[in-house]
Amino acid sequence: MPAARVSLEAVLRTAEASRTGALWKLDGAARQLDANLVRLPSGAGVTEHVEPDLDVLLVVVEGSGTLHHAGDEEELAPGALVFVPRGERRSVTAGPGGLAYLTAHRRRPGLTIGRTQAREGGEPACLLGRICPACDRVSEDPSASFCGRCGGRLPTA
């Protein structure tokens, strides 16, 4: 069972200043929700992408930045809460002092071995360079440098 209470301020305060990406994530096998505390350094961002399956709630905890979504730019500041619906193109850019935000969304089902419905076009043979080491999400954008879910740096291919 995940911890019922976490101090995001304490997570930010105790994390090394140079540490970016997902600083904290909700744990526990029986949960229905995923949540991540993401920190981006000044000027860094999460590359434009589309999340086809999950609505995302984003809450700014510290710093400033810009959320680009639905063809618009929205300035982010502490306390801002933004709902980003699935299927909407989005990206995040940290402001001059960096940005820390919490994301929450329905939990993805775990990976399973077995037959799945074939998708038009299929997947390339190797996706290792597109799998986030922090949250295991596969980036839909092959040129992305940061994970669209947690903001962690993607491995170089």
For the record, the structure tokens of 13 come out as: 């305060």
Q: What is the pTM of this model?
A: 0.68
CATH assignment of the domain containing 56: 2.60.120.10
Nearest to 64 by CA among 88, 41, 89: 41
144 belongs to a structural domain: no
Mean per-residue pLDDT, 17-45: 88
146 belongs to a structural domain: no
157 belongs to a structural domain: no
58 belongs to a structural domain: yes
Return the pLDDT at 123: 46
pLDDT surpassing 70 at residue 112:
no
pLDDT surpassing 80 at residue 95:
yes
pLDDT surpassing 90 at residue 93:
yes
For the record, the structure tokens of 30 come out as: 């029986």
127 belongs to a structural domain: no
Return the pLDDT at 28: 77
